[in-house]
Structure 1
Amino acid sequence: MKIYTKTGDRGETGLFGGQRVAKDHVRVAAYGDVDELNSLLGVAVWHLEADGQAELAAGLRGVQSDLFTVGANLATPSVEDGGRESPWIPALAPGRIEELEGWIDAAETELEPLKSFVLPGGSGGASYLHLARTVCRRAERHVVTLSREAHVGPEWVRYLNRLSDLLFTLARLANRRAGVDDVPWMPNPRGAAEEGAAPR
């Protein structure tokens, strides 16, 4: 099977079920963001494994598998939208969102309570988890946009919403386990900003 098919050379792509849409269609943007998120998690996993945080890396491999399921469903129009049912499109494992919530709760037992916003960054793994969180939020926004014009299962928005919370929490946890402190955001006082004070 060849990687290139030439069927998309005119700016269209095929969805699961046979429909063809423009490559900038909101549905393509939604599952494209999910694909980008999955790739970023692959980089985060590499850094976590290199830092000796195999437990976090293994859990995120499971999330990567989830994201293939999310993307496959977003790329499949519902029957109401002219699509065809397919036994090959997987469903999200029951209770998976609750499992993410449990992971968040367990991670927070190792963390100091948040008292301010923190700057994204820190260790390699944490930095990529922060970046993945922002892409996850973008994916969520595009799925919400898609849901206004097509039938989209509410579980996909819920999953991405919970996942972004998890990625933020795991970024903090990865920093803590790597011995790297979170850097709190220290906004300039309004008066200093108005006077043109140089940032410190």
Structure 2
Amino acid sequence: MVKLNRIYTRTGDAGTTGLVDGSRVSKAGSLIAAVGEVDEANSALGIALSLMEPSEWRDAAAIVQNELFDLGADLATPWPGSERDLRVTPAQTARLEAAIDAATAVLDPLTSFILPGGTPASAAMHVARATIRRAERAIVTAAAEHALNPEALIYVNRLSDFTFVVARCLNQNAGGDVLWVPGASR
């Protein structure tokens, strides 16, 4: 259990931050950039959740929001570490895949690219999706320099697919997807 008695510690005043194992790294490094992008993705997902009505998709997205903290902890824990470390697991990725399949089963097939919009909840979920994609790119960059849990990258890749289909589901009962019309303003 996390217990924070003080919010500021002054330990990062010189531009470093601590990893889970106590080692210190630069706040400007690729690993901390990836952790920061995951945190931003979590915040974007929180906005989407605040706009969603109670539903199975809201429940599934709330689970994902908690798992994004798990992902951040995973990235901040040197790999391979120990069996006690908090890591993203194949079961979490499989749960995302099952949710993606369930959503896809109730959606009409795509016949066009879609624009990120529609209901406020769907638009916010698209912002979360784009932010998750940026986090994925940051994790790929960090993985080129640091050993990371391979499942973390697989999970975040599925997560952007999950947010995409949830955004579509949120629009389904509100007029459907906002379709891209190539060259419409010419």
What is the TM-score with the length of structure 1 in the denominator?
A: 0.84
Match of 2:29 among 22, 25, 28: 25
Aligned counterparts of 1:180 and 1:90: Cα–Cα separation in 2: 41
Task: State the partner residue of 1:9.
Answer: 13
Aligned counterparts of 1:185 and 1:2: Cα–Cα separation in 2: 49
Residue 186 (1) aligns with residue 181 (2) = yes
Structure 1 residues 51-97: Cα deviation after superposition (integer angstroms, max 9, x where no partner): x3332111111111211111101011225xxxx6473x323355221
Structure 1 residues 126-148: Cα deviation after superposition (integer angstroms, max 9, x where no partner): 11110111111111111111111
Q: Is the 8 A contact 2:89 2:151 kept in 1?
A: no
Match of 1:91 among 80, 87, 93: 87
Task: State the partner residue of 2:71.
Answer: 70
- Secondary structure of the structure 1 residue equivalent to 2:46: helix
Residue 150 (1) aligns with residue 154 (2) = no
- Amino acid corresponding to residue 76 of structure 2 in structure 1: A
Which ranges of structure 1 fall in alignment gaps of 5 or more residues?
A: 190-198
Q: Is the 8 A contact 2:104 2:165 kept in 1?
A: yes
Aligned counterparts of 1:8 and 1:180: Cα–Cα separation in 2: 49
Q: Is the 8 A contact 2:42 2:68 kept in 1?
A: yes
Aligned counterparts of 1:78 and 1:113: Cα–Cα separation in 2: 40
- Secondary structure of the structure 1 residue equivalent to 2:25: strand
% identical aligned pairs? 44
* Aligned-residue CA RMSD (Å): 1.7
- Secondary structure of the structure 2 residue equivalent to 1:109: helix
Q: Is the 8 A contact 1:123 1:180 kept in 2?
A: no
Aligned counterparts of 1:125 and 1:181: Cα–Cα separation in 2: 13
Aligned counterparts of 1:64 and 1:182: Cα–Cα separation in 2: 24
| Alpha-carbon distance, 1:34 to partner | 0.9
- Amino acid corresponding to residue 169 of structure 1 in structure 2: V
Which ranges of structure 2 fall in alignment gaps of 5 or more residues?
A: none
Residue 112 (1) aligns with residue 113 (2) = no
- Structure showing greater radius of gyration is 1
Instruction: Give the 4+ runs in structure 1 shifted more than 6 A.
Output: none
Residue 135 (1) aligns with residue 131 (2) = yes
What is the TM-score with the length of structure 2 in the denominator?
A: 0.90
- Amino acid corresponding to residue 54 of structure 1 in structure 2: S
Q: How many residues align?
A: 182
Residue 103 (1) aligns with residue 92 (2) = no
